[in-house]
Amino acid sequence: MKPQLQHLASPPLLSQPAPADLPDARHPASPARRGVPAWISVGLVEDSDQRLLDLRNGLLQRPAHISPKFFYDAQGCALYSAICELAEYYPTRTEAAIFERHRDAIARRLPRGVQWVDLGCGDGAKSWPWLKPVEARRWVGVDISPEWLSMSLQAGGQQFVEVEFVGVATDFTRPLQLHHVLGQRPHWPRVFFYPGSSIGNFPPEQALALLGSVREHLGPEGRLLIGIDGVKDKAVLEAAYDDALGVTAAFNRNVLRVVNRELDADFDARRFAHRAVFNSRDSRIEMHLVAQGVQQVHLGTDQRVFDDGEAIVTEYSYKYTPESFAALLREAGFGSSWHWSDERGWFHVFVAGA
């Protein structure tokens, strides 16, 4: 349950060019001087009209569904931050503990003098402890939000004046197109960093496509460093997505308030119940909003009747065993991999190379 595209609440743009002024992918900017943030846009950001059309069409389908990217308005981000502090929600702290305990061993599997590519970087904070161990020369933040890129560029540039900082505004659920950016420093090896088990929000075929796209960008010395949530006891998994305090339930229902704003809809969030179940056949947590009674909902000029007990799918979160994820890496074209886990085997960190 991590922001798959980091659609987070937007801080004000800092002293960076406005998004409209970003250079086009066909005319990439010159490499940034070290310590001086630079903007580079690849241009494949989400079309706002198509985004709303997809949201509307998803709700009109049976079963209805809402992309998890709509979770992360300002209120959703605040609720997600609270979820990460819950006793039941183990992924964030477990991954952090693996990184802390095994950082030296993981770093030994990574090249030095790298371009560090942070996918879905948000504020970039998860990257900062890695830049010195790998002697990073360049940080490339990849995020759909130019506002968050602006914040992370400035924060990183202030902490690591010897590192070049570049932001790439793009929707990386589409095929990655970073060759023109990474090619500005052709002799610097690449490490792609994708923590938080965000890959779990993608169905396996889309996860495979994303991993394959990363593999195409690595080059001979490149590596992927990625966090994966593991398969475990059903009760543990379901509690992580349905906590006793009801924070996750509030987070899930909040997406209906987002839909109301986006589509001029009239969902009554109080009449939908939160449900989280582990689908063992497909190895995924499914989050639903379940109608409590028959309801007629307006979606702008459209109408949709929800039957009593009918569910809207709001998130899938796929879980992997070390063996199943290693097989997915091989299928995506990676030739070697190493992994580390916590003592209980609840969460896994992989390094994969060409």
Instruction: Specify the CATH number for the domain of residue 94.
Output: 3.40.50.150
Closest CA to 195 of 118, 138, 104: 118
| 69: in domain | no
Query: Going residue by residue through the chain (354 aa), what tens digit of pLDDT does each one get?
Result: 654 443 333 333 333 333 333 344 334 444 555 555 566 665 566 678 888 999 999 999 999 999 998 998 889 989 998 999 999 999 999 999 999 999 999 999 999 999 999 998 988 999 999 999 999 999 999 987 787 788 889 899 999 999 999 999 887 777 888 998 999 999 999 999 999 999 999 999 999 999 999 999 999 999 999 999 999 999 999 999 999 999 999 999 999 999 999 999 999 999 999 999 999 999 999 999 999 999 999 999 999 999 999 999 999 999 999 999 999 999 999 999 999 999 999 999 999 998
DSSP 235-287: HHHHHHTS-TT-HHHHHHHHHHHHHHHHHTB---GGGEEEEEEEETTTTEEEE
- Residues 264, 277: contact at Cβ < 8 Å? no
| 100: in domain | yes
Closest CA to 306 of 28, 46, 36, 66: 66
Neighbours of 307 (CB within 10 A): 11
What residues have CB less than 8 Å from 56, skipping those under 6 apart? 263, 299, 300, 302
| 157: in domain | yes
| 205: in domain | yes
User: How far are the Cα atoms of 133, 137, 164, 209 from residue 112, in angstroms, in the given order?
Assistant: 8, 9, 15, 27
281 token code pair: 């056949």
- Residues 336, 351: contact at Cβ < 8 Å? no
| 321: in domain | no
What residues have CB less than 8 Å from 192, skipping those under 6 apart? 117, 119, 214, 217, 218, 222, 223, 224, 225, 226
How many residues are given for the chain? 354
**Domain encompassing residue 166:** 19-47+89-231+327-353
| 188: in domain | yes
d(CA 249, CA 196): 21
Give me the number of domains the chain comprises. 1
d(CA 86, CA 114): 35
d(CA 86, CA 249): 13
| 13: in domain | no
| 278: in domain | no
